[in-house]
Chains A and B, each alone.
Chain A
Amino acid sequence: MQTKNAVLEDLQGIVGKENLREATPEDAIDGVEPSLVVEPGSVEEISAVMKLARGEGLAVSLRGGGTKTYLGAPPRSLDLILSTARMDGIIEHVPGDQIVRTQSGVRLAALQEKLAEANQMLGIDPPEEGATIGGVVAANSSGPRRYRYGTVRDLIIGITVVLADGTVAKAGGKVVKNVAGYDLSKLFTGSLGTLGVIADANFRLHPRPESARTVAVEVETPQAARDAAQAIVHSQVEATAVELHWSDEAKLISVLLESIPGGIEAKEERASFLLEEFGEVRTLGDGEVENLEPLSTVSADEVEIKIGAPPTELATVLDSVLDAAKRRDLTARMTGHAGTGVTYAVLSGEEGALAEVVDEVREIRTRNGGSAVVRRAPTSFKKRVDVWGPAGDYLGLTRRVKEKFDPGYTMNPGRFIGGI
């Protein structure tokens, strides 16, 4: 192993002086401070950086927009942050083929803006502002539209990755239909920087809807929330999103409807009719819709859990969290993608009590199916509670996959499920 100065020089040789800097306390992940932050500008540079890092036994974490560094367990070790900020080119957008190829450092918002010029969009809408494509893929970020368009795994059609040893490989392609070779694009989706660096990714696009409305029903009980969501899901309305909002101020199921101008009214009418049974229904104004996103504001001492459960379990999910929180005098607000069974809960209060709530919710999910993963939490909390929760019988296989792709545990060590 070389001295830090020698490594620094080697890295400078690869990316240039201006693209390497000493880390600052702001670069720390869960209190673990790296020494250096490097910004390679090409696939070749990423490859050279990784090869060097691996050879030197450095632990590397990847950073896109830095909007989701909170995900995962605290790092086991951390030396180098590889930022994709300079990998910010859109490689190819072919409107007629409804595909785009982009480097991983491109911001999702910038990409959407570009696609909008051709009346197209990528059907992924996570709430984080400033997220990059690489980060969205690595974290498998999703938003309300997943109900209609699916998640990253459903829209990604090709990928270029750089492994820890510097190997550059691609899979998939730029056509929407393709079964040649293994689908590594999907494997890297949600891999949280533990398998390799995502250098670029290709996606299938959708036409931008011409008109949109959000219809919402005010509900009083978890059961009514569940039933309202189910009424839309089992109807023929073809909603774009079916969302839950649950706080002291508002308890709503909102339904995003998209169509052509000639079709939107009928959809709105039909959805409103279906929801009437469960409470007061109204069409929301634009400002109101934006206000319904409590999770973009989670404060440093709060704990956010993501619960995955069968959609019909929505009432149980709500009840279990609310009840567990109430018994311990904790406050809870929830939101979620009610149509697909994803619920987020944000809790605040005493740490020990919060940990008990996580345990309790997990125990119920283990029995009834699904998972409960801690997303945002103070580092002290993450050290106390396994953020991932119990993994299924696939943990051994998961570990074997990791060890084939990154045998030296160079990539983001310690942060993934099972200590991977």
Chain B
Amino acid sequence: MDRGQLIETMQGILGPQGVIHEHEELRTYECDGLMNYRVIPDLVVLPETAEQVQRIVQTCYDEGIPFVARGSGTGLSGGALPVESGVLIVLSRMRRILEVDVENQRIVVEPGVINVWVSQEVADEGYYYAPDPASQIVSSIGGNLAENSGGVHCLKYGFTTNHVMGAEVVLPDGSVVHIGGGKSPDAPGYELLGAFVGSEGTLGIATKITLRLVRKPEAVRTLLAAFKDTEEAGGAVSGIIGAGIVPAAIEMMDALTIEAVERQVSPGFPDAGAILIVELDGPEAEVASQFDHVIEVCQMNEASEIRVAEDDEERALFWKGRKAAFGAMGSISNDYYVQDGVVPRTELGTVLKKISDLSNDYGLRVANVFHAGDGNLHPLVLYDNDAPGEAEKAEKLAGDIVFTCLEHGGSLTGEHGIGEDKKKYMPKMFTTDDMNVMQLLRCAFDPHQICNPGKIFPTPRLCGERPGPFHMHPVQKAGLAENF
């Protein structure tokens, strides 16, 4: 099938409005939130129903054409980066909330639904959707699922994977499966849903997603504490966790981040070496007692100032400052790279020190803002793209930071994913055998490697089938046999 025929076929499925093929328009989709990788796709399609997604994928499978799913395109690892001569399947027109079942604490949505809409939909009933990435006002549930996104409240409530209960998935061969129990627990068979969530769009396209709804807590209390430096703030974090308290959130920001945030959204944060935002929620009596304990721990760690949010408005202001952190970097630097690494919480102090040393060695500033409770760091490497060689230097520094995380028992990524960006680093964390075994899963889902190919793994593994364009065996085509 040549390009013209493909366009015609897709228009047949979607109507002319659902297919983008003009070069200039295609450029809109050349990258996701990570702008240093760009590829112009052959074709962009905009399905509105699951059935259309199925037909698109079926066509791609039959013709051996690679495809990539895209939600809102806010990913930070190049996961939705198109592949050349491939089709980009944009799910942002699939935005219906299909079913609300508060009684069973479930909601069923299409993949293009924006994260925050879910909470808005059930707010009046006293419920919300717990995973809250900072991008929640734009990122899609499908993208969240694919990246297993985290958020500031995941310390107590878990990540996306703990809240996706079922999915309808169009597999790369065009067949449709329903995995996970949805409203019912413990569906018999393998835990396919757990393997699918976080697979970065490489195992199929989710067309319908069942999420868990969480009851709003009786009480919420939030404080902001200022410290001399990140080390003292880190001491407070250890003290809180060590006391057996599981806060809803503990976030840390260093001096550089505070400066940037102040310039951008002026939340009126104190001038300090480091700030912690700690939030507790749950039953009133429990929260009240533990909150006092948190204040004590902060005082013991020499907090220079402790502000307790008096009302929802002040709480929102604290969070506004935190959630604006990435974007705010634009106010103190021309360009910045968002790193995402994880260290065991007990290694935070040592690793932060090393990051600061690296920053000095490279002569580039690094701002730190992170989910301190689970050791998920977001060092922001500041640089100037116009200064010759600085972009390369920044990339190298960012790499060294994440290697430091690995040396201390951590991970290459806590929530942004491997995608295109970090696949070259995978061998630093996993052996060839580890990666080959992971790819067995890939081969089971996508034997011809047409679904978001080339992501996550540095060297794709052949699945024992012919790669690339292929012709289907007549028996297979007639539905008489599964893939060989």
Say if the beta carbon of A145 comes within 8 Å of chain B: no
Nearest Cβ on chain B to A240's Cβ, whole angstroms: 12
Q: Interface readout for B406-419 with A: 1 if CB under 8 Å, 0 if not? A: 00011111111110
Who on chain B is nearest to A397 by CB? Answer: B177
> Are B286's CB and A260's CB within 8 A?
yes
For the complex formed, measure the closest distance between the CB of B281 and the CB atoms of chain A, giving whole angstroms.
9
- Interchain CA distance A94-B375 in the complex, whole Å: 14
Rounded to whole Å, the gap between the CB of B370 and the closest CB of chain A is 11
Q: Is A308 an interface residue (CB 8 A)?
A: yes
Q: Which of B192, B215, B242, B342 contacts A175 (CB 8 A)?
A: B342
Nearest residue (CB) in A for B447 is A400
Partner of B342, one of A178, A195, A394: A178
Per the bound structure, the CA–CA distance linking A393 and B346 in Å amounts to 45
Q: Is the CB of A173 within 8 A of B411?
A: yes
Q: Which of B183-218 contact A (CB under 8 A)?
A: 183-192, 194-195, 197-199, 215-218
Would you call A97 and B345 a contact (CB within 8 A)?
yes
Contact A181 B105 (CB under 8 A): no
Given A169-B431, A174-B409, A99 and B344 touching (CB < 8 A)?
Answer: yes
Given contacts A175-B410, A179-B417, contact A163 B437 (CB under 8 A): yes
- Complex-state Cα separation, A178 to B417, whole angstroms: 9
Rounded to whole angstroms, the CA-CA distance of A314 and B369 in the bound complex is 45
Q: Are A405 and B440 touching (Cβ within 8 A)?
A: yes
> Is B181 located at the chain interface by the 8 A CB criterion?
yes
Residues of chain B lying within 8 A (CB to CB) of residue A388? 188-189
Does B313 sit within 8 A of A, measured CB to CB? Answer: no
Is A150 touching B171 in the complex (CB atoms < 8 A)?
Answer: no
Report if B246 contacts A (CB, 8 A): yes
Contact partner of A179 among B186, B344, B413, B426, CB < 8 A?
Answer: B413
Among A11-19, A49-57, A205-213, A282-290, the stretch that binds chain B is A205-213
CB A337 to nearest CB in B, in angstroms, measures 8
Contact of A371 among B147, B184, B418 (CB under 8 A): B184
Q: For B184, give its contact among A163, A236, A310, A401 (CB under 8 Å).
A: A310
Chain B residues with CB under 8 Å of A237's CB are 283
Please tell me which one of the listed residues A169, A178, A208, A230 contacts residue B103 in the complex, with CB atoms under 8 A apart. A230
Q: Would you call A395 an interface residue if the criterion is a C-beta within 8 Å of the partner chain's C-beta atoms?
A: yes
Instruction: List chain A residues, Cβ under 8 A from B246.
Output: 206-207
Give the residues in chain B near A68, CB-CB below 8 Å: none
In the complex, the answer to whether A180 meets B376 with C-beta atoms within 8 Å is no
Q: B476 at the A/B interface (Cβ < 8 Å)?
A: no
Residues on B with C-beta less than 8 A from A292 are: none
- A191 CB contacts on chain B under 8 angstroms: 190-191
A153 touching B194 in the complex, CB below 8 Å, given contacts A96-B241, A175-B410, A181-B426: yes
Closest to B200 in A: A179
Docked CA distance A418–B438 (Å): 23
- Chain A nearest CB from B267 CB (Å) reads 26
A259 contacts across to B, CB distance below 8 A:
283, 285-286
Query: Is there a chain A Cβ closer than 8 Å to B297's Cβ?
Result: no
Give Cα A177 to B377, complex, Å.
11
Complex interface: stretch among B87-95, B153-161, B301-309: B153-161
State the CA gap A99–B430 with chains docked (Å). 20
Q: Which of A98, A178, A400 has the most CB of B within 10 A?
A: A178
A-side interface residues, number (CB < 8 Å):
92
Kindly list chain A residues whose C-beta atoms are within 8 Å of the C-beta of B184: 308-310, 341, 369-371
Q: Is B81 located at the chain interface by the 8 A CB criterion? A: no
Shortest distance in angstroms between B90's beta carbon and chain A's nearest beta carbon?
A: 23
Residues of A close to B241: CB separation below 8 A: 96, 98
Residues of chain B with a CB closer than 8 A to A417's CB: 188-189
Contact in complex: B177, A184 (CB < 8 Å):
no
- Whether B64 is near chain A, meaning CB under 8 Å from some CB there, is no
Distance to closest chain B CB from A178 (angstroms): 4
Chain B contacts with A in 414-470, Cβ cutoff 8 A: 414-418, 422, 426, 429-431, 433-438, 440-445, 447, 456, 463
Once the chains bind, are B244 and A210 in contact (CB under 8 Å)? Answer: yes
User: When chains A and B are docked, how far (Å) is the Cα of A219 from the Cα of B2?
Assistant: 69
A175 touches B216 (CB 8 A): no
The interface residues of chain A lying within 8 Å CB-to-CB of B181 are: 308, 370-371
Partner of B195, one of A180, A182, A369: A182
Are B150 and A177 interface neighbours, CB within 8 A?
yes
Contact flags (1/0) for A239-282 with B, using CB distance below 8 Å? 00000000000000000000110110111001000000000000
A400 → B minimal CB distance (Å): 4
B250 to chain A, nearest CB (A): 13
Q: Which residues of B contact A270 (CB under 8 A)?
A: 283
Assuming the contacts A154-B162, A393-B177, asked whether A308 and B244 have C-beta atoms less than 8 A apart, the reply is no
Interchain Cβ contacts under 8 Å between A and B, 5 examples: A171-B434, A177-B342, A178-B413, A183-B198, A337-B185
- Which residues of chain A have a CB within 8 Å of any CB of chain B? 94-99, 119, 140, 142, 150-151, 153-154, 161, 163, 167-171, 173-184, 186-191, 195, 206-208, 210, 230, 233-238, 259-260, 262-263, 265-267, 270, 306, 308-312, 337, 340-342, 369-371, 373, 388-389, 391-405, 416-418
Query: Which 4 A-B pairs rank lowest in CB-CB distance, beginning with the nearest?
Result: A186-B194, A207-B244, A263-B286, A169-B437
Since A183-B195, A391-B189, A393-B178 are in contact, a sample of 12 more A-B pairs with Cβ atoms closer than 8 Å, ordered by chain A residue number, is: A161-B437, A170-B434, A182-B195, A182-B199, A236-B283, A265-B285, A370-B181, A371-B186, A371-B188, A394-B179, A400-B482, A404-B463
